[in-house]
């Protein structure tokens, strides 16, 4: 696998169909699961992989510095079901999520690849529908596919993961737009299947990143290929609401994640400014701000919807009254814009008129200069004769006391 280049470097877009896989690898999905000291969740992840209706997969389980015996104890009952489709790698020390991802990708093969971290789950048809989408006629140029996701909130108590709530996370997604993906990571790694051939074009995960490597990887993928969408909630993104500061904690929503997200945006902007091509980072920054605004509006909308009785309608009417002046301001700005456009056209016409007049004046002065030159040439003999005659006349006049005018 090609090594990822550190920094926001976008390769050339891939314009043709992706190369065919080697014999025997067509349709196979290479699944990578990263884990560390979370045996309870790892057990659930093993079960969700074994429950897939698509059986053409292999699994590389990367234990990134966690207790090796715990991992072996969890997978022992499942080894007969996994058979030769399972490979386990124990890192002697924690190398980080990005390096663990690359180790897992390098240790297997297949036409496609997918990540299922130990705390997430799939619907039974996730792999089947993802592969069917990527192999369907007309989708040969797609580099990957993503599905809709259910956000599951849970807590860990008495050795069990207890369900709390479930909600749609990205059910609005119909297509994957590069600029929208720059705004935020709205495709969890567990909802994503990509062609392994992509790795030869963009490399693996950037090992310099402590977190958010999956997001940065997808941005580089989008720079060479499009991502399709299966509009079904085939993946679940699990978040724990307790056990903060333990291996079961989620990074989502933490101050550390916010800092790393800001650092990724800042690095992209610095790269763009240094390279003289600010467009990608500008998109990233602007869309992130717009995404924040959209989130605040969504929170406001949910708050209004939860108001009792007719209070929601009263709030909506109040907002309509408050926002009405903005519509007038918008109309005024539109009229001002049209007026300025017309004035601009008038100024342009005036400039053309002044320019034409200036050209005519310049031509006139040129003609006068030419006339003056010709007059000088034509009158030179007269001036040559007149000067000695005048000097003689002045001399005679001086002697006779007369005056020559």
Q: Which long-range CB contacts under 8 A does 303-312 form with residues at least 24 apart?
A: none
- Element (DSSP H or E) covering residue 25: none
User: In the prediction, which pLDDT does 272 show?
Assistant: 65
Q: Are 283 and 179 in contact (CB under 8 A)?
A: yes
Query: In the prediction, which pLDDT does 311 show?
Result: 72
DSSP bridge pairs for 57: 29
CA distance 302 to 278: 36
- Confirm if 80 and 107 have CB atoms less than 8 A apart: no
Q: Supply the pTM of this predicted model.
A: 0.66
Per-run averaged pLDDT (10 residues), the chain, 405 residues: 60 66 90 96 97 97 97 97 97 96 95 96 98 95 97 91 93 91 88 95 92 91 95 95 73 69 72 63 56 65 70 70 62 62 61 62 55 51 54 57 45
- Kindly state the tokens that stand for 135: 């192999």
Q: Tokens 């240094």 correspond to what residue? A: 274
- Alpha carbon distance, N-terminus to C-terminus of the chain: 106
Over pLDDT 70: what percentage of the chain?
A: 63
């Amino acid at each position: 696998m090609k090594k990822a280049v550190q920094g926001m470097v976008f390769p050339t877009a891939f314009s043709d169909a992706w190369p065919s896989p080697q014999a025997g690898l067509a349709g196979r999905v290479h699944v990578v699961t990263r884990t560390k000291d979370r045996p309870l969740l790892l057990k659930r992840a093993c079960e969700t992989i074994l429950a897939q209706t698509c059986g053409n997969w292999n699994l590389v389980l990367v234990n990134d510095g966690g207790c090796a015996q715990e991992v072996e104890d969890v997978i022992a009952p499942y080894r007969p079901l996994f058979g030769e489709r399972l490979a386990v790698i124990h890192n002697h020390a924690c190398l980080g999520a990005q390096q663990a991802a690359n180790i897992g990708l390098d240790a297997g093969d297949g036409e496609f690849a997918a990540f299922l971290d130990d705390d997430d789950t799939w619907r039974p048809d996730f792999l089947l529908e993802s592969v069917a989408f990527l192999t369907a006629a007309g989708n040969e140029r797609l580099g990957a596919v993503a599905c809709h996701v259910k956000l599951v909130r849970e807590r860990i108590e008495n050795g069990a993961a207890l369900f709390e709530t479930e909600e749609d996370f990205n059910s609005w997604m119909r297509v994957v737009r590069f600029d929208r993906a720059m705004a935020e990571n709205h495709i969890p790694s567990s909802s994503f299947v990509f062609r392994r051939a992509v790795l030869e074009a963009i490399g693996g995960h950037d090992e310099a990143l402590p977190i958010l490597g999956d997001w940065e990887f997808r941005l580089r993928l989008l720079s060479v290929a499009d991502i399709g969408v299966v509009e079904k909630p085939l993946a679940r993104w699990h978040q724990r609401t307790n056990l903060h500061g333990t291996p079961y904690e989620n990074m989502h929503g933490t101050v550390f994640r916010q800092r790393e997200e800001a650092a990724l945006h800042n690095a992209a902007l610095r790269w763009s400014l240094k390279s003289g091509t600010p467009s990608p980072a500008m998109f990233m920054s602007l869309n992130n701000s717009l995404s924040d605004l959209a989130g605040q509006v969504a929170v406001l909308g949910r708050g209004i919807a939860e108001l009792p009785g007719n209070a929601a309608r009263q709030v909506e009417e109040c907002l309509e009254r408050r926002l009405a002046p903005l519509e007038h301001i918008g109309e005024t700005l539109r009229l001002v814009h049209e007026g300025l456009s017309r004035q601009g056209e008038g100024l342009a016409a005036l400039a053309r008129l002044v320019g034409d007049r200036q050209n005519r004046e310049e031509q006139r002065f040129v003609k006068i200069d030419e006339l003056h030159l010709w007059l000088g040439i034509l009158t030179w003999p007269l001036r040559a004769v007149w000067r000695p005659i005048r000097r003689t006349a002045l001399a005679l006049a001086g002697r006779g006391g007369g005056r020559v005018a």
